Amino acid sequence: MARQALLAALDEGWADPARLYREGRRARLLLDAARETAAESVGCRPDELAFTPSGTRALHDGIAGALAGRRRAGRRLIVSAVEHSAVFQAAAAHEASGGTVAEVPVDRTGRVAPEAYAAALREAPEDIALACLQSANHEVGTVQPVAEAAEACAADGVPLLVDAAQSLGWGPVEGRWSLLTASAHKWGGPAGVGLLAVRKGTRFRPAPVDERESGRAPGFENLPAIVAAAASLRAVRAEAAEEAERLRGLVDRIRARVPELVPDVEVAGDPERRLPHLVTFSCLYVDGEALLHELDRAEFSVSSGSSCTSSTLVPSHVLRAMGVLSEGNIRVSLPRGTAGTDVERFLEVLPGVVAGVRERLGAPEAVAAAAAEAAAETSGLVVDSLGKRCPIPVIELAKVIGDVPVGEVVTVLSDDEAARLDIPAWCEMRGQTYEGERPAERGTAYRVRRRA
Amino acid sequence: MARQALLAALDEGWADPARLYREGRRARLLLDAARETAAESVGCRPDELAFTPSGTRALHDGIAGALAGRRRAGRRLIVSAVEHSAVFQAAAAHEASGGTVAEVPVDRTGRVAPEAYAAALREAPEDIALACLQSANHEVGTVQPVAEAAEACAADGVPLLVDAAQSLGWGPVEGRWSLLTASAHKWGGPAGVGLLAVRKGTRFRPAPVDERESGRAPGFENLPAIVAAAASLRAVRAEAAEEAERLRGLVDRIRARVPELVPDVEVAGDPERRLPHLVTFSCLYVDGEALLHELDRAEFSVSSGSSCTSSTLVPSHVLRAMGVLSEGNIRVSLPRGTAGTDVERFLEVLPGVVAGVRERLGAPEAVAAAAAEAAAETSGLVVDSLGKRCPIPVIELAKVIGDVPVGEVVTVLSDDEAARLDIPAWCEMRGQTYEGERPAERGTAYRVRRRA
């Protein structure tokens, strides 16, 4: 549908909709029609909706415009700890220009408690300019209590911006939000189109502006892509309920079977209040990038929030905020139309792939005997993992823990940022006591007390 | 070519080039190849070139990033008076945040004198952060002395940003520029793609950023459009020299014939140092919007810089800066491949269209007799055009000038912003003496002394 609409609009909608000649007027009609279609799917008025070049730009420009419009009201921005990185980029720009940012924490499922959101609104309430909350998390699929947050914001006169990128293809965002953003390629539409809805009455001052998109999204409109975006949103919505139920069943199967098939796995996110198509899990003693490449060889295209797969060597901020394991992290996103047989084949392939990676890394199961030998050589109760990257520090900890007397402490030295997240997460999974960290001569010393 | 490349890239390049699975790697290869192709056409290194969502965004982000990168060097921005409005939008945002902006004037052809540019660099030189100059003007086609400006900037250690939107399809921008912007749809590429080149060694600090496009253009890449943009740029360049010569001949014909065929026309812009495909002229006593609609009915799609066709009721800032007539303004842009027969038909149609619009408006030629009668009724030497829009004030001035004794003054009262430009321009065209303006009880009083 997106492709058909794009091709048609390449013929009919190449001209500048700001021009008065016939090709321009035709382009204007197409743009108006696309805006009406998309606004209906969003649940707003057409004149409240602007098309932006991407979801990221909608977030950057939406947050900046709302903060500028509310500058006299305050300089405080409230965000959840698990927003999309584009929200944190906009927040960093806000801080750089003298504003403040407050983060609302999440629980281990990645969910913001409505009470925690309300509490953040009560802190320095006279200074709050804007609050942001995603409709659902992009890494673990957990659905957020947007309607409750919107009520709390409305009661305090604070505009709420909802990042609906993950959920808009499945349905409108309920509740009294003030601003909403989304991204067309997330619902199967084309690249190059984001949505920014700004409800009437919401103060908004973008800069710099031109005369396009009500002054909210400058630059020549990407009309063929906009037409494709609107048409595909309507199309996916028409079958959203049925497809959501089907994909939900497939994800339920992955959530249930992976921990049965693969030892030492943690499935992340809320098992009930979640997106239909997304599931994330982490495998102890596995390098996320190696796992991803092995799955790619088996023709499964998955993502990872492990630090090993990130150019910044920092693990996913979402997993970190949740306090769950990030090593060997895999995110499976089922496209609409995914066949159940593909999911079954994934479940067949996965255990062998994980075991293979663990074996190559010398993980505990594979080297039980070797570990016992190594333990004899361990010089006291310090594991030196300096210079070694995720998941090696945790693998080395797991190798020696059996040799630590119950009640005693082992110290892991590591300079890998992922260890900060993964050693406490391993302790939680393994029933050991994490005693905290302290700076070491090189890197950081993580202390773990053997409980059993 | 753009369409073929777009279609191919829809199949091969839909995935996220930041991902490690095979579809992502394939997308990355396409992106890298497009960047190499485009960089070769621009004349820069691939790692100096970022793809943005539009030419406007390239200008907004390029100017903001260069200003932020040079914040410690100074807060002064130099622009020519005839830049694209996106430059002035970025300049306004800079002023709003405490910066200063200096405008370099142009002559009646719309050209910046190299000496004037150099003089602007000598004013407050310790505070200059950035200088901007278009490669060629988007309304009148005049080519700017970019290489000279670049030399002057380089001598002073000031980065020069060149807006190459109008000329990049015809050839690279020579000279030691530091930043360059362009827009794909201007060379026949798709909507949704701009270019931002930042030479190595140029200080640049964009905000907010993500990990895409070297941190210079956030948001999911519009890869199919990027591939189409690069392929089409290479394709138009391959035949640019030949096509430029052909179109230059057609524009020469328009520039020569229009003043012969239509009385009271002023052709704008430099007749030699100009873009091959663009020509702009203004017709006295004509409403630009009416002219545009009549030409549209004759199947010619043209633009206008008259205030009557602008939603802001302000005439084109380019024509204003040049001090030339804006009423009845028509911009003809010949697409590549325009047939000579189409130009001949345009020249056939135009005189009748202009005469028709003039007749309906009661312009001098059409109502010579009526004007003489009206003159008898003229109450002294004041023409009250309050509440009347362009081109009526000039038409009424033209009607009475014959009745003003030589050496005497007639005063035109007008509250239309276009009169400020068009009454002096009319005086220049008609050999009358413009004596200046003063505020009146309502609107402005423009004084014209009859010379002959």
Report pLDDT digits (tens) over B254-298. 999 999 999 999 999 999 999 999 999 999 999 888 999 999 999
**In this structure, what DSSP letter does residue A324 have?**
-
Q: Is B220 on the interface with A (CB under 8 A)?
A: yes
Select from A21, A54, A219 the Cβ nearest to the Cβ of B56.
Answer: A219
Hey, which residues 336-375 in chain A have their CB within 8 Å of chain B?
none
| The CA-based dihedral angle spanning residues B209, B212, B217, B218, taken in that order and rounded to the nearest 10 degrees | -50
Evaluate if residue B403 carries a pLDDT over 70. Answer: yes
Residue B214: name the closest of B50, B70, B58 by CA: B50
Closest chain B C-alpha to A37 CA, distance in angstroms: 21
User: For residue range B12-56, what is the model confidence (pLDDT) as tens digits?
Assistant: 889 999 888 999 999 999 999 999 999 999 999 999 999 999 999
Select from B54, B93, B185 the Cβ nearest to the Cβ of A53.
Answer: B54
- pLDDT score, position A377: 41
User: For residue range B319-358, what is the model confidence (pLDDT) as tens digits?
Assistant: 999 999 888 999 999 999 999 999 999 999 999 999 999 9
- pLDDT score, position A210: 86
Q: Report helix, strand or coil for A178.
A: coil
Select from B96, B220, B289 the Cβ nearest to the Cβ of A185.
Answer: B220
For residues B40 and B43, what is the distance between their CA atoms, to the nearest angstrom? 5
For residues B75 and A274, what is the distance between their CA atoms, to the nearest angstrom? 49
Tokens of B353: 């269209």
Q: Is B155 on the interface with A (CB under 8 A)?
A: no
Hey, which residues 12-71 in chain A have their CB within 8 Å of chain B?
14-15, 19-24, 53-57, 60
Q: Report helix, strand or coil for B113.
A: coil
- pLDDT score, position A313: 58
- CB within 8 Å: A56 and B220: yes
Q: Is B113 on the interface with A (CB under 8 A)?
A: no
Select from B23, B210, B296 the Cβ nearest to the Cβ of A86.
Answer: B210
Encoded amino acid at A9, one letter: A
Tokens of B329: 């303004």
- CB within 8 Å: A207 and B96: yes
For residues A311 and A306, what is the distance between their CA atoms, to the nearest angstrom? 11
Bridge partners of A148? none
**A-B C-beta contacts closer than 8 Å:** 154
User: For residue range B130-187, what is the model confidence (pLDDT) as tens digits?
Assistant: 999 999 999 999 999 999 999 999 999 999 999 999 999 999 999 999 999 999 999 9
- CB within 8 Å: B218 and A89: yes
- B44, B308, B390, B427: which one is catalytic? B308
CB A418 within 8 A of CB A315: yes
CB B77 within 8 A of CB B129: yes
Mean pLDDT of the residues in chain B:
92
Residue located via tokens 């601003």: A179
How many angstroms separate the Cα of A412 from the Cα of each of A57, A265, A394, A400, A418? 42, 22, 9, 10, 13
For residues B38 and A201, what is the distance between their CA atoms, to the nearest angstrom? 44
For residues B346 and B332, what is the distance between their CA atoms, to the nearest angstrom? 10
- pLDDT score, position B311: 56
Find the closest chain A residue to B2 by CA distance.
A10
pLDDT above 90 covers what percent of chain B? 80
Q: Report helix, strand or coil for A84.
A: coil
For residues B196 and A308, what is the distance between their CA atoms, to the nearest angstrom? 31
Residues in A touching B225 (Cβ below 8 Å)? 191-192, 222, 225
- CB within 8 Å: B92 and A54: no
- CB within 8 Å: A57 and B190: no
For residues A26 and A7, what is the distance between their CA atoms, to the nearest angstrom? 16
CB B264 within 8 A of CB B228: no
Tokens of B326: 């804006």
Evaluate if residue B411 carries a pLDDT over 70. Answer: yes
Residues of A taking part in catalysis: 308
- CB within 8 Å: B309 and A20: yes
**What does pLDDT average to in each consecutive run of 10 residues of chain A (452 residues)?**
91 89 94 98 97 97 97 96 96 95 97 96 94 97 97 96 98 96 96 97 91 90 96 97 98 97 95 97 91 94 77 78 91 96 97 94 62 44 90 92 91 91 92 92 92 84
Q: Is B92 on the interface with A (CB under 8 A)?
A: yes
Residues in B touching A225 (Cβ below 8 Å)? 191-192, 222, 225
Select from A15, A53, A209 the Cβ nearest to the Cβ of B57.
Answer: A53
Pick from A377-381, A415-419, B202-206, B368-372: least confident: B368-372
The string of DSSP codes covering B24-83 is: HHHHHHHHHHHHHHHHHHHTS-GGGEEEES-HHHHHHHHHHHHHHHTTTT--EEEEETT-
Encoded amino acid at A213, one letter: E
Select from A14, A89, A303 the Cβ nearest to the Cβ of B19.
Answer: A303
Closest chain B C-alpha to A65 CA, distance in angstroms: 13
Domains with residue ranges and CATH for chain B: 2-238 (3.40.640.10), 240-361 (3.90.1150.10), 365-449 (3.30.110.40)
- CB within 8 Å: A55 and B221: no
Q: Report helix, strand or coil for B124.
A: coil
- pLDDT score, position B373: 41
Find the closest chain B residue to A55 by CA distance.
B219
Residues in B touching A185 (Cβ below 8 Å)? 14, 220
Phi-psi region of B104 (alpha: psi -120 to 50; beta: other; left: phi over 0): beta
Q: Is B10 on the interface with A (CB under 8 A)?
A: yes
Mean pLDDT value across residues B118-129: 94
Interface test with B, best of A6, A220, A289, A299 (most B CBs within 10 A): A220
- pLDDT score, position A363: 81
Q: Is B93 on the interface with A (CB under 8 A)?
A: yes
Find the closest chain A residue to B24 by CA distance.
A301
Select from B23, B219, B293 the Cβ nearest to the Cβ of A57.
Answer: B219
- pLDDT score, position A390: 85
- CB within 8 Å: B208 and A93: yes
- CB within 8 Å: A218 and B301: no
Residues in B touching A98 (Cβ below 8 Å)? none
A270-305: buried (b, 16+ CB within 10 Å) or exposed (e) per residue? beeebbbbbbbbbbbbbbbbbbbebbbeeebbbbbb
**Residues contacting A179, CB < 8 A, separation 6+:** A62, A66, A159, A160, A161, A162, A196, A197, A198, A199, A202, A204
